[in-house]
């Protein structure tokens, strides 16, 4: 038996494997697509099962596995949410079992805060393989495919994931982006990029609609408002979301809480109220110049969220 640690971590251990069949069951997964690519380049075959507890598994990870799926890579998703699998299990044919607390995430595999042990035991390996096969046959666990049933389950999951991440963004604050990235339950934050300043007519409409709403907030209590044109129900934000906002040229970068959202005639009117203290997931000090470079392309792509890779590259 061998204990892996931060110096001799799980990512390093896996990276050295060549021409192996590797079975992984993880409560959630994110940011480890490059590792999967490297493992496949080394001739390994991957069979992965990920859970959906708290909707933490990144949809980007699932999309990667769906797009790359072939005889060398297969993925199943346990869509049972709070009832889904919570294992952290790595099986390497023919007889290696790695078990501990490390999820299939960048933070997990680094073992900076997790632990795992490597056990070489053919009987234990086969016993766990049998359990994995039984898990994959369980109702609610679906193999990745282009079937309508899987697509529907994944689309519902995307909505739940986005809602959960937005909830984390408005309830958890970190000293800096590095600390935010250190918690691998954080996968994304909402992003809103606007094109131009409001016209006088638009401001009049926003003032009128707010006055007619029932929350009793006066126009003087509004810190800022935004507009978003889309069909009713298609807005990718909810009241209470803390959103990174910016103009499309990379100016006016900051976090705003979308305190009130009203819909009128094809336009959502979004209001951020004045407060003594404003919530933000992390401070943006030192990152605005890098963000300014990226925001125009994000606007062209119609991006409405930033993922961990974006934050590590442009904010951290």
pLDDT of residue 215: 74
Residue 155 lies in a domain: no
Shared domain check, 103 and 213: no
Among all chains, which residue has been given the structure tokens 């790695």? 98
pLDDT of residue 90: 98
Percent pLDDT > 70 in the chain is: 100
169-194 burial by CB neighbour count: b if 16+ within 10 A, else e?
Answer: bbeeebebbeebbeebbbbbbbbbbb
Position 88 pLDDT exceeds 80? yes
The model's confidence at residue 65, banded by pLDDT at 50, 70 and 90, is very high
Shared domain check, 183 and 249: yes
Residue 159 lies in a domain: no
Shared domain check, 112 and 12: yes
The model's confidence at residue 145, banded by pLDDT at 50, 70 and 90, is confident
The model's confidence at residue 53, banded by pLDDT at 50, 70 and 90, is very high
Percent pLDDT > 90 in the chain is: 84
Shared domain check, 138 and 194: no
Residues, the chain, total?
Answer: 316
Residue 192 lies in a domain: yes
Shared domain check, 306 and 214: yes
- What is the pLDDT of the chain when averaged over all its residues? 94
Q: What's the Cα-to-Cα distance from 240 to each of 97, 119, 134, 270, rounded to whole Å? A: 44, 47, 41, 11
Shared domain check, 190 and 289: yes
Shared domain check, 140 and 240: no
Position 38 pLDDT exceeds 80? yes
Average pLDDT over residues 76-104: 97
Among all chains, which residue has been given the structure tokens 């389950």? 153
Residue 157 lies in a domain: no
What number of other Cβ atoms are within 10 A of residue 87's Cβ? 19
Q: How many domains does the chain have?
A: 2
CATH code assigned at 111: 3.30.870.10
The CA-based diameter of the chain, rounded to the nearest angstrom, is 74
pTM of the model: 0.88
Average pLDDT over residues 204-227: 88
Shared domain check, 83 and 11: yes
pLDDT in tens, 109-126: 999 999 999 999 999 999
Crossing angle of helices 148-171 and 59-68, in 10° steps, is 150
Picking from 127, 145, 163, the residue at the C-terminal end of a domain is 145
Shared domain check, 220 and 140: no
204-230 burial by CB neighbour count: b if 16+ within 10 A, else e?
Answer: ebbeebbeeeeeebeeeebeebbbbee
The model's confidence at residue 286, banded by pLDDT at 50, 70 and 90, is confident
Position 159 pLDDT exceeds 90? yes
The model's confidence at residue 78, banded by pLDDT at 50, 70 and 90, is very high
Of the listed ranges 15-24, 158-167, 198-207, 264-273, the least confidently predicted one is: 198-207
pLDDT of residue 91: 98
Q: What's the Cα-to-Cα distance from 212 to each of 133, 163, 262, 273, rounded to whole Å? A: 58, 28, 10, 16
Residue 161 lies in a domain: no
Position 60 pLDDT exceeds 90? yes
Helix (H, G, I), strand (E, B) or coil at 189: strand
Position 217 pLDDT exceeds 90? no
pLDDT of residue 155: 95
Shared domain check, 179 and 140: no
- Of 92, 90, 96, nearest in space to 50 by CA: 90
pLDDT of residue 170: 87
Q: Domain span at residue 116?
A: 2-145
Shared domain check, 111 and 51: yes
Picking from 126, 145, 164, the residue at the C-terminal end of a domain is 145
Average pLDDT over residues 275-297: 91
Shared domain check, 186 and 97: no
Average pLDDT over residues 161-172: 91
Strands 267-273 and 222-229: antiparallel
């Amino acid at each position: 038996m061998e204990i892996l640690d931060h110096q001799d971590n799980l990512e390093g251990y896996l990276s050295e494997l060549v021409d192996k069949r590797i079975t992984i069951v993880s409560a959630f997964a994110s940011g480890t697509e490059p590792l999967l690519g490297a493992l496949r380049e080394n001739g390994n075959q991957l069979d992965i099962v990920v859970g959906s507890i708290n909707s933490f598994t990144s949809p980007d990870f699932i999309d990667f596995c769906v797009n790359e799926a072939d005889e060398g890579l297969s993925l199943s998703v346990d869509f049972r949410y709070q009832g889904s699998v919570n294992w952290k299990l790595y099986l390497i044919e023919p007889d290696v079992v790695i078990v501990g607390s490390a999820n299939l995430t960048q933070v997990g595999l680094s073992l900076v805060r997790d632990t795992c042990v490597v056990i070489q035991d053919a009987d234990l390996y086969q016993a766990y393989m049998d359990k994995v096969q039984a898990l994959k046959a369980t109702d609610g666990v679906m193999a990745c495919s282009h079937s309508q049933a899987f697509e529907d389950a994944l689309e519902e999951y995307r909505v739940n994931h986005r809602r959960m991440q937005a909830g984390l963004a408005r309830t958890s604050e970190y000293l800096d982006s590095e600390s935010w990235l250190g918690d691998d339950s954080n996968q994304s934050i909402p992003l809103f990029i606007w094109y131009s300043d409001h016209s006088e007519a638009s401001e009049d409409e926003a003032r009128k609609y707010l006055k007619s709403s029932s929350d009793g907030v006066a126009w003087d209590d509004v810190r800022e408002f935004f507009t978003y044109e889309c069909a009713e129900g298609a807005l990718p934000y909810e009241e209470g979301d803390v959103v990174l906002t910016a103009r499309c040229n990379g100016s006016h970068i900051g976090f705003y809480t979308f305190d009130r959202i009203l819909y009128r005639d094809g336009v959502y009117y979004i209001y951020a109220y004045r407060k003594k203290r404003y919530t933000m997931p992390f401070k943006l000090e030192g990152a605005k110049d890098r963000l300014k470079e990226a925001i125009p392309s994000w606007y062209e792509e119609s991006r409405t969220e930033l993922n961990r890779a974006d934050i590590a590259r442009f904010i951290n």
